[in-house]
Amino acid sequence: MLLHSRDFSHELGGTVFSLALSFANTCSEVYNEAKEVSIMLKAFQFRLYPNREQKIYFANCFGSARFIFNQMLADRKKIYETYKDDKELLKSIKPRTYTSFKEEFPFLKEVDNLALANASQNLNKAFKNLFRDKAVGFPKFKTKHKSKASYTTNNQGGNIRIEDGKIKLPKIGFVKIKQHRDFDGLIKSCTIFMNKAGNYFISILVEQETPEWLPAEHKIGIDLGLSDFAITTNDAGESVKYANPKCLSRSEKKVKKAQRALSRKQKGSKNREKARIALARKHEKIANQRKDFLHKLSNHITDENQVIVIETLRSSNMMKNHKLAKAIGDVSWSEFCRQLTYKAEWKGRTLIKADRFYPSTNFVPHADTGTARKPHISATGHAQTAAQPMIGTSMPARTSWLWPSKRKHPRQVLPFEPTKYPFPLSAKTYADKEGVRRKFAT
C-alpha cells in the first residue's frame, strides 16, 4: 500500500516528510516483492568417489553418529526407568547432550561436530513423532549392519561448495563428485551415505526460488494395473497404455543365482562379503531401473496435464494376496503416487485422488472394441450391451466427466492403440525402433 502526502500533512512537512514518504513506499515495494517470491527446499543426489582415507573418515562419521544416537537414547531410557513413578521429577531432569560425551569418548572429537549435532536432532525428532502419534513406536537402537550408514552436516560460512568436479566437506576437504546436473540456490545441508553395495552418495539440500510453471492444456485420468502399469485417458479422448517394465522379473534369474552363491559361502568369510556385495549390486540395479521409469513417467504426466485424476490404492492390503504380492511390490504404485503428489505441487497442478470404492464400473465403455459383449447396467440404470475389455475396469480414465468433454457422449471411452513402448515416441524414434524390431524379426 503506497502512502500519500495527505495522510501525514498535519504531522510532517518539508524535506523530512519527503524522506519519510519515500522510505515508507520503498519498504512497501520490497515487502510486496518478497511476498511474491516463494522459497522451496529441494534435494539433489549425486555419486561420490572418495579415496581410501576419505572412506575411513566417512566410516568414522557413520559410526560416531550412530554411537551418539544410541548413547543418548540409552541415557533417556535410564532416566525414564529411574524416575517413571515421579512424573514431576521426571520432567525436571534434563538428559545429557552430545557434547558431554566427548570427554568420556575422545574419538568423537575426530569427526565433524555437526554430524553429532544432527544425530542428536534426529533423536529429538523421533521422540516428537512418538508423542504426536503412539503408533510410530518408541525409538530403536541403531546397529552397524542393519541401520543406514549416513551422517548429516550443515553449510556454515560456505564450508560446503562444489568446485571443478569436487565438493568441499567440513574436516575432510574436497571429495570427487559426479555432478550430472547443475542447480541454483543456497546449500543448506548435506547427507552423506553408503548403500549396501558399498557405493557412496551425497544428498544436497538446496534452498531456491520456486520456478513459475505455465498451465498445461490437458486433463487426464490414470488407472494403475499389473498387466500394464498404467492406462491414461485425457479430455481429448486420447488413451495411452504404458507397459509394465517388470524390473524384478526380468532380472530374477540373476538374483536367484547370486542368492545361491551367497548361501554357499561361509559366514564371516571375505568371499561371503564379496558375494553379498554382488547380490546387493543386482538389487541396486533393479531399484534404479524402477526409479528411472517412475520418475520419467511422473514427469511426463505432470508436464503435459493440468488436472490429474488417479485412484487411491491400498497396496498393503493387496499385498496380502500371496499370488500377486511379488508383482505388486515390483510395480511400486505407492512410490508412483508419491512422486505425482510432490511434482504436481511443484508445478502447480491439481491432483485428485479418487476413492477406491467409487462405483466406476457403472460407466459404459466404447462398443467398438472388438471384444465379447454382455448386458451392462449404465449409470442411468438402463441395461445396455457393452464390451468388457481392460478399459472396462479403468476407473479414473472414466472420471473424465469431471471436466467438460469434447466427445459426443461424456461417459464414452474411445478405443485406443496400445503402445509398445513405455513413453510416447517421436516419429523418427518410433521408425528407428520399428526398423530394428523388423530386422530381428526376419
In a domain, 41, yes or no: no
Question: Does residue 176 fall inside a structural domain?
Answer: yes
| Listed residues 166, 181, 209: the one ending a domain | 209
Q: 310: which residues sit within 8 A by CB, 6+ positions away?
A: 221, 222, 224, 337, 340, 351, 352, 353, 354, 396
- 365 and 224 part of one domain: yes
Tell me: do 98 and 167 sit in the same domain.
yes
Whether 423 is covered by a domain: the verdict is no
User: DSSP 3-state assignment of 261?
Assistant: helix
Are 295 and 260 in the same domain?
yes
User: How far is the C-alpha of 414 from the C-alpha of 412, rounded, in Å?
Assistant: 6
Instruction: Collapse the DSSP code of 374 into the 3-class scheme (helix H, G, I; strand E, B; otherwise coil) and give the result.
Output: strand
Q: How far apart are CA 176 and CA 203, in angstroms?
A: 14
In a domain, 440, yes or no: no
pLDDT of residue 37: 62
- Answer whether residue 441 is part of any domain: no
Is residue 166 located within the same domain as residue 247?
Answer: no
Strand pairing category for 149-154 and 383-387: unpaired
The answer as to whether 6 is a domain residue is no
DSSP state for residue 380 in the 8-state scheme: T
Q: 22: Cβ–Cβ under 8 A, 6 or more apart, which residues?
A: none
At 394, list the grid cell: 479403468
Q: Which of 191, 209, 227 represents a domain boundary (last residue)?
A: 209
The Cα–Cα gap between 255 and 232 comes to 32
Q: How far apart are CA 198 and CA 191, in angstroms?
A: 16
Contact 308, 266 (CB under 8 A): no
Give yes or no: residues 229 and 155 share one domain: no
Residues 83 and 178 reside in one and the same domain: yes
Q: If you count them, how many residues does the chain have?
A: 442
Answer yes or no: do 191 and 275 share one domain: no
Q: Are residue 147 and residue 116 in the same domain, yes or no?
A: yes
> 3-state secondary structure string, 159-188?
CCEEECCEEEECCCEEEEEECCCCCCCEEE
pLDDT of residue 105: 94
The range of the structural domain enclosing residue 298 comes to 218-402
Q: What is the pLDDT of residue 419?
A: 43
Nearest to 219 by CA among 341, 352, 338: 352
Dihedral Cα 199, 249, 245, 276, nearest 10 deg: 0
Q: Whose CA is closest to 426, among 418, 434, 438, 414? A: 434
Per DSSP bridges, beta strands 373-377 and 173-178 are unpaired
Residue 229 shares a structural domain with residue 176? no
Cβ(356)–Cβ(391) under 8 Å? no
Q: Residue 310 pairs with which residues in a beta bridge?
A: 222, 353
C-alpha cell at 307: 488436472
Upper half-sphere CA count for residue 19 (Cβ side, 13 Å): 3
Same-domain status, 249 and 186: no
244 and 97 share a domain?
no
Instruction: State whether 97 and 198 are in the same domain.
Output: yes
> In a structure prediction context, what are the per-residue pLDDT tens digits for the chain, which is 442 residues long?
444 444 444 444 445 445 444 544 555 554 444 445 688 899 999 999 999 999 999 999 999 999 999 999 999 999 888 888 887 888 888 899 999 999 999 999 999 999 999 999 999 999 999 888 888 889 999 999 889 999 999 999 889 999 999 999 999 999 999 999 999 999 999 999 999 999 999 999 999 988 888 888 889 999 888 889 999 998 888 889 999 999 999 999 999 999 999 999 999 999 999 999 999 999 999 999 999 999 999 999 999 999 999 988 877 778 888 888 888 888 999 999 999 999 999 898 999 988 777 665 555 444 444 443 333 333 333 333 332 333 333 444 444 444 444 444 433 333 334 444 444 444 445 455 555 444 444 4
Q: What is the pLDDT of residue 405?
A: 41
pTM for this entry: 0.71
**Predicted pLDDT at 322:** 83
User: What's the total number of domains in the chain?
Assistant: 2
- Contact between 177 and 8 under an 8 Å Cβ cutoff? The reply is no
Last residue of a domain, one of 174, 192, 209: 209
Whether 23 is covered by a domain: the verdict is: no
Is 378 within a domain? yes
